[in-house]
Amino acid sequence: MDPNSVPASRGSRATRSSLACLPCRSRHLKCDGKRPECARCTESARQCHYTESRRGGVSRASLAERRSRQSALNNNSSHSSSCDDMPEIRQEQLANGYPDQDYSFRLPDLDVVSDPAGLTSATTSNAETPAGPLDQNYSLDNDALVQKFYRDFHRFHPMVVPWEHLVRLYQDPDKQPRLAPLVAVLRLIGHLFDAQAWSQPLQNFVEACFSQAHPAEPVMVQCRLLYSMALFWFDKKDESMAEMDSAVQLATTLGMHRRDFATAHGSGDPVLAESWRRTWWWIYIIDAYYVGTLRNREFAVKHIDADVELPCNEIEYEQGDIPTPQTLENFNCREFYPEAEFSSFAYLIGAVKSAASAITMSPKRSSKEASSHVIQAADAMIDGWHLLLPKKLKNVMSRSGDIDELMFQAHLVLHVATIGLHRPLSELRFNSVEDHSSCAREPRPEMTATEQISIHTIRVLRSVEAQVRILALPVRPFNHTPFTTCMVSEGTLALLSACNFLLEGKEREIARDQIRLIIGCLTSLGELWPRTARNVKEIQFIARHVFGLESKGGGNATPTSIQEPILCGGGESQKLSGPDLEILESNGILADGITNNADDWYTTSDLSRELSWWINE
């Protein structure tokens, strides 16, 4: 079924049977659970058979004791299935490779989860919410919430198997218990887009499914990663980081970073194998995003020696036409093999790796040597990515108006890395008022001016403008990954500093228009994600100080003169002067207009060549 289609109303829910026979389950039909044959199979003359009990014939007392022990384990692990807490037999199985035997999936206790399907607040605009996973009447292909996930979120972080493939997998009754935690998470995220509100019943059901899942099930890496993202941008940071840490630990323990993992656990299904490759790379990327968003988080997976192959193109993934995968070694040698083609996903991975390596070169203090090192070494990593980018991937938006969401992220990642590298060495000073932004970097030590300060200033401003160009692409409503928030916010802080210390007249007016655009885009994201909404308020607070507006209202306030900067980094502010400033003013570095080309940036390390580029343009 097409996820963009509107599901028909399901009407009232049928009464749930405690157990359905396999023929009824496979056809998603109501079953009265009678033995040896149910009424439906008797009427249709079908052979009726049931799944053998997986409880092993335990008594009620033994079952109650088992549940008590499981509850205690769950409480001790704070809802995260750490591999260190696995029973000894499971640790032994992991050490010898992922076990092949089937795992039982127990239904969450109904006395603990009173609304297992999460129906209380999970309403949709199109139809009554279908029953939840594990319910015998549940039909995945008619689930409006799962469709909402694929329509509004999947393209930002495509790692779960495509919609039609998931529906096919779920038709196998033996696979349904393993997929139940994943479907529960997809429904929770789908509900966020549908109702723009958090659903506590759906969250309860997600965590109930997690507690019952086998701790070494690979799909739990996807579940915890997706769940972490939803929690984080709904301002549940502590719970989010616990889920992310569990996802990283499980992925590394299972060996998901090794090349043979995808094949070994793909069950001969190339789409599923591709999904496992993508899962590892999203672990790497999202971990990097968290490091860039939070001030004190370590990049846990950066130094893991991963040889997992690279993902294919999105159209190939969606159609199930998976080619022989490229390797990271091939990508790193692409300058010698111009005929080799790589996917947008591969270039996003390369962008994150380049940004992470460049940021580690960020100087702790300002000096001529540190300045030259950033320009010659760190910039080479970032510029190399841009220079080798195929022409067809330079435009983030296609002629049909579709956004390549992975290239959208890749460009923003490298531009925010450039801003972070060069701003401490530029004219664009920091001040403690920026600490009001949860996306602001750690305060930097006072930097003394170097003879290359103009180069650093120009590179920051060009990256800020490139970010604005991407945000201004004519696609509305503005809907992208919420990790866009801090990538754009750091550029906004630099632009606000430019308004204070560098720009005057027309250039300053244009910058203010661009700040309005940025705030408008982030406000649109903030309608769904509370953490983004909070960040918008932080930027507005900082902007009021920059433009000399009153802290409240601001309707009658007038901006202070740019000659009296409010955001001072200590000492007198310095401005570009002489021929540098004349060229900047005459060419309007922030007034080049909006284009579809996100690859408008600087690659040289000499100021005269930078300024000549502007003149030639």
Give the model confidence (pLDDT) of 267-279 as tens digits: 999 999 999 999 9
> Among the three residues 547, 574, 608, which one is the final residue of a domain in this structure?
547
12 in any annotated domain: no
- The residue ranges of DSSP E strands in 335-442, in sequence order, are none
Q: Say which range, 1-10, 89-98, 152-161, 345-354, has the weakest mean pLDDT.
A: 89-98
Distance in angstroms (rounded) separating the CA atoms of residues 141 and 164: 8
Interval 1-12 mean pLDDT: 44
Containing 341, the helix (H) or strand (E) segment is none
Containing 279, the helix (H) or strand (E) segment is helix 270-293
Same domain, 290 and 408: no
Determine the pLDDT at residue 322. Answer: 96
Confidence check: pLDDT of 206 > 70: yes
Determine the pLDDT at residue 590. Answer: 34
The better pLDDT of the pair 430, 362 is held by 430
460 in any annotated domain: yes
Distance in angstroms (rounded) separating the CA atoms of residues 105 and 332: 43
C-alpha dihedral sign at 128, 129, 135, 137: positive
Amino acid letter, residue 9: S
134 in any annotated domain: no
223 in any annotated domain: yes
C-alpha dihedral sign at 283, 288, 289, 293: positive
Residue corresponding to tokens 């990790």: 483
> Among the three residues 502, 523, 547, which one is the final residue of a domain in this structure?
547
Distance in angstroms (rounded) separating the CA atoms of residues 317 and 281: 15
Determine the pLDDT at residue 29. Answer: 73
Distance in angstroms (rounded) separating the CA atoms of residues 458 and 589: 9
What's the Cα-to-Cα distance from 7 to each of 4, 172, 191, 194, rounded to whole Å? 9, 22, 15, 14
Same domain, 285 and 431: no
11 in any annotated domain: no
Contacts of 233 (CB under 8 A, 6+ apart): 482, 485, 529, 530, 531, 532
Determine the pLDDT at residue 89. Answer: 31
Token representation of residue 45? 């003359």
Same domain, 283 and 209: yes
pLDDT one-digit tens code per residue, 110-126: 333 334 343 333 333 33
Same domain, 291 and 371: no
Confidence check: pLDDT of 44 > 90: no
Residue corresponding to tokens 């090192």: 373
What's the Cα-to-Cα distance from 136 to each of 17, 139, 300, 513, rounded to whole Å? 8, 8, 41, 55
Same domain, 179 and 268: yes
Determine the pLDDT at residue 47. Answer: 72
Same domain, 176 and 279: yes
The better pLDDT of the pair 251, 338 is held by 251
> What is the percent of the chain with per-residue pLDDT over 70, rounded to a whole number?
68
Same domain, 375 and 272: no
Distance in angstroms (rounded) separating the CA atoms of residues 343 and 578: 45
The better pLDDT of the pair 429, 248 is held by 248
Distance in angstroms (rounded) separating the CA atoms of residues 349 and 451: 34
Of 52, 51, 31, whose CA–CA distance to 43 is shortest? 31
DSSP-assigned letter for residue 376: I
> Among the three residues 491, 515, 547, which one is the final residue of a domain in this structure?
547
Interval 416-428 mean pLDDT: 89
The better pLDDT of the pair 347, 597 is held by 347
Same domain, 375 and 514: yes
Torsion (CA) 488, 491, 493, 497 in degrees, nearest 10: -160
Distance in angstroms (rounded) separating the CA atoms of residues 182 and 157: 15
Confidence check: pLDDT of 212 > 60: yes
- The residue ranges of DSSP E strands in 256-315, in sequence order, are none
Q: Give me the CATH number covering residue 38.
A: 4.10.240.10
pLDDT one-digit tens code per residue, 431-467: 777 877 878 765 555 555 567 888 889 999 999 999 9
Distance in angstroms (rounded) separating the CA atoms of residues 47 and 448: 83
pLDDT one-digit tens code per residue, 529-543: 999 999 999 999 999
Same domain, 305 and 379: no
pLDDT one-digit tens code per residue, 454-504: 888 999 999 999 999 999 998 888 899 999 999 999 999 999 999 988 888
Amino acid letter, residue 491: G
Confidence check: pLDDT of 616 > 60: no
168 in any annotated domain: yes
Interval 185-191 mean pLDDT: 97
Same domain, 280 and 369: no
Confidence check: pLDDT of 295 > 50: yes
The answer to whether 353 touches 287, Cβ cutoff 8 Å, is: no
Same domain, 181 and 34: no
Token representation of residue 44? 């249709």
Determine the pLDDT at residue 136. Answer: 67
Interval 72-77 mean pLDDT: 48
493 in any annotated domain: yes
Same domain, 395 and 533: yes
DSSP-assigned letter for residue 395: B
- Structural domain containing residue 163: 145-309
Determine the pLDDT at residue 63. Answer: 46
537-547 burial: b if 16+ Cβ within 10 Å, else e? ebbbebbbbbb
Determine the pLDDT at residue 68. Answer: 57
The answer to whether 193 touches 149, Cβ cutoff 8 Å, is: yes
Vertex 268 angle, CA 263 and 271, to 5°: 80
592 in any annotated domain: no
Domain count, the chain: 3
Q: Give the number of other CB atoms < 10 A from CB of residue 578.
A: 7
Question: What is the pLDDT of the chain when averaged over all its residues?
Answer: 76
Determine the pLDDT at residue 359. Answer: 83
Determine the pLDDT at residue 602. Answer: 34
